[in-house]
Amino acid sequence: MLDDKNPKRTSLEELGEFGLIKHLTKDFTTKQKSTLKGIGDDAAVLDITDKKIVVSTDLLIEGVHFDLSYVPLKHLGYKAVMVNLSDIYAMNAIATQITVSIAVSNRFPLEALEELYSGIALAAKTYNVDLIGGDTTSSTKGMLISITAIGQAKEEDLVYRNGAKPNDLLVVTGDLGAAYMGLQVLEREKEVFKVNPNSNPDLSMYTYVVERQLKPEARKDVVPLLDALGVKPTSMIDISDGLSSEILHLCEESNVGCNLFEDKIPLDPTVISSCEEFKINSTTVALGGGEDYELLFTIDQKEFPKIKGNPNLTVIGHMTDKNEGVHLISRNNTKIPITAQGWNGLSKEEQ
């Protein structure tokens, strides 16, 4: 939400498109050796030498992917970068550059975009990526953000979705469901605010889940971790749309089935307590919640001793022959078919 108490509102018309880009990107510097030319010409120039290029793009639209009534613009800028970097790390690659394009309506002054770009700048600095270009234009429907992430890896290091084999172990980083529960808390407080604009919510007990929703972290650490452990996944994907959807993607692309064990799914204690408060099943949240931006991957069974006991990694199941199907093995040992329950950006109900 824009701060109505802030008296300074610089119209974007005053700067024009090129003036705006120059203003918003004046403090960005290039750090990657592969960036020969960044912002300031008709196109960026990259020199990758012997490595393969990995490219991913995401589009975020106000009212569909984010709600500015409770999402601070700085957090939005940071998260928009994370969404894209996560896809690069899911290829077992290192992110190196981003481009940022935005469309905004005239309700956004320059100061609002400065906030957005401060989050983008923080993400670029933290994750050591260069901003090398983009575009700005006007919008009649609020704010739209499109970010493209570029990464690189040696060909032999790249991991795709289609390499899983029967008996491979299914592994996930971190814990699941927190981002979805953070969204539930924020949506609830938004409704309370509508009824009582003077309410001052205490979100201290929800800090972890709210932060996972507003300021997620892409798992940059996992690529060098797996390399140090001497483990190359057979397939990998990031968890943006929910665990169930991502498992189905891996199974479809790799032509295998899967057994996922309910009691192995990693959940933070605050997720469990939040689920109890909201009367939502925590397994359902982990399967369908999405926006965790953890990495889900498969490894050959012989690699298990290398990852055993690592606090960043949890074995949650194993792959099977395709004809065995894709199942959740419940705590009482019941086999339940897994269906896609996660986010669908084209669903009318989601909009």
Residues 117-142 pLDDT 10s:
999 999 999 999 999 988 889 999 89
Taking only the tens place, the pLDDT of each residue in 76-106 is 999 999 999 999 999 999 999 999 999 999 9
pLDDT for 147-179, tens place per residue? 999 999 898 999 999 999 999 999 999 999 999
Which pLDDT does position 17 carry in this prediction?
Answer: 66
pLDDT band for position 51 (cuts 50, 70, 90): confident
Mean pLDDT, to the nearest integer, of 310-338? Answer: 96
* H or E element that contains 302: none
Report pLDDT for 110. Answer: 93
Does position 41 have pLDDT exceeding 70, yes or no? Answer: no
* pLDDT band per the 50, 70, 90 thresholds, residue 339: confident
How long a stretch of residues is the chain? 351
Continuous segment of H or E residues that includes residue 326: strand 326-329
Rounded alpha-carbon distances, angstroms, from residue 126 to 30, 48, 71, 278: 13, 22, 20, 34
Which of 34-48, 195-209, 239-253 shows the lowest mean pLDDT across its residues? 34-48
User: What's residue 10's pLDDT?
Assistant: 82
What's residue 8's pLDDT?
Answer: 76
Region 100-119: mean pLDDT is 95
pLDDT value for 198: 79
The average pLDDT across 196-222 equals 92
Mean predicted confidence (pLDDT) in 208-235: 97
Q: Which of 48-52, 65-69, 258-262, 285-289 has the lowest mean pLDDT?
A: 48-52
Strands (E), 117-177: 130-138, 144-153, 169-173
Q: Give the pLDDT score at 1.
A: 44
Q: What's the mean pLDDT in 173-197? A: 93
> Distance of alpha carbon 134 from its chain centroid, rounded?
20
Confidence bin at 350 (pLDDT 50/70/90): very low
Min mean pLDDT across 5-14, 63-72, 83-92 is at: 5-14
Q: What is the pLDDT of residue 349?
A: 45
Q: pLDDT value at position 40? A: 64
Q: With bands split at pLDDT 50, 70 and 90, how would you rate the model's confidence at 4?
A: low
Q: How far apart are CA 177 and CA 328, in angstroms?
A: 16
How high does pLDDT run on average in the chain? 90
Residue 95, φ and ψ in degrees, nearest 5: -75, 140
Residue 211 · residue 182 · CB < 8 Å = yes
Instruction: Quote the pLDDT of residue 24.
Output: 75
**More confidently predicted of 34 and 192:** 192
Burial class (CB in 10 A: 0-12, 13-18, 19+), 157: middle
Interacting residues of 18 by C-beta distance below 8 A, sequence separation 6+: none
Output the pLDDT for position 18. Answer: 65
Domains of the chain listed by start with CATH number = 12-157 (3.30.1330.10), 169-337 (3.90.650.10)
pLDDT value of position 346: 46
